[in-house]
């Protein structure tokens, strides 16, 4: 009876449910709030700084939010995903778009490694000899 009780307790503790919020905590009326924002200063005051900004093409500020669900030994799942995209030009908000779970594509991560063109593959000994002279001794400030 004691063994059964111990196994049952261990099984129940392994199946705990925990939810963590990742990214921004958006208000319920996100679409109406961002529709009235005209400048980046208003946007930063209302939502905050973006998680990332594009570096090529149009300047787009990206905000992301998701709920991370952990259920014991099962893989983590993410729901209530929301992405806020804000097109910015010279301190002015040009366009906003809010994407939810259904609007986001299901991206599958490829297995393996991405090859880097013209990469040089070195073994451990070549790496060791390649690094000789590259670093200054600690405390010299060079």
Backbone angles phi, psi at 13, to 5 degrees: -70, -25
> What is the longest distance spanned by two Cα atoms in the chain?
72
DSSP element (H, E) containing 31:
helix 30-35
Give the pLDDT confidence score for residue 10 in this predicted structure. 67
Query: Cα–Cα distance between 86 and 33 in angstroms, integer?
Result: 13
Give the pLDDT confidence score for residue 137 in this predicted structure. 67
Backbone angles phi, psi at 77, to 5 degrees: -125, 155
In eight-state DSSP terms, residue 42 is H
Cα dihedral 112, 114, 117, 119 sign: negative
**Kind of pairing, strands 77-89 and 59-71?**
antiparallel
Query: Cα–Cα distance between 86 and 101 in angstroms, integer?
Result: 18
Closest CA to 96 of 23, 47, 28: 47
pLDDT (tens place) for every residue of the chain, 142 residues total = 888 887 777 666 666 677 888 888 888 888 888 888 898 898 888 888 888 888 888 889 999 888 888 776 777 777 777 888 888 888 888 888 888 888 877 777 778 877 777 777 888 888 878 777 776 666 555 5
Whether residue 41 contacts residue 88, with contact meaning beta carbons closer than 8 Å, is answered with no
Give the pLDDT confidence score for residue 117 in this predicted structure. 78
């Amino acid at each position: 009876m004691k063994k059964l009780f111990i196994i049952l307790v261990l099984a129940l503790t392994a199946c705990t449910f925990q939810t963590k919020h990742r990214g921004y905590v958006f208000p319920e009326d996100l679409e109406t709030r961002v529709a009235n924002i005209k400048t980046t200063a208003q946007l930063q005051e209302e939502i905050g700084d973006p998680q990332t900004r594009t570096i090529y093409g149009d300047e787009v500020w990206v905000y992301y939010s998701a709920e991370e669900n952990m259920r014991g030994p099962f893989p983590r799942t993410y729901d209530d995903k929301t992405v806020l995209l804000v097109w910015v030009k010279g301190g002015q908000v040009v366009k906003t778009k809010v994407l939810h779970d259904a609007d986001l594509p299901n991206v599958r991560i490829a297995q393996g490694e991405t090859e880097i063109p013209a990469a040089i593959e070195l073994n451990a000994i070549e790496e060791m000899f390649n690094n000789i002279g590259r670093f200054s001794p600690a405390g010299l400030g060079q």
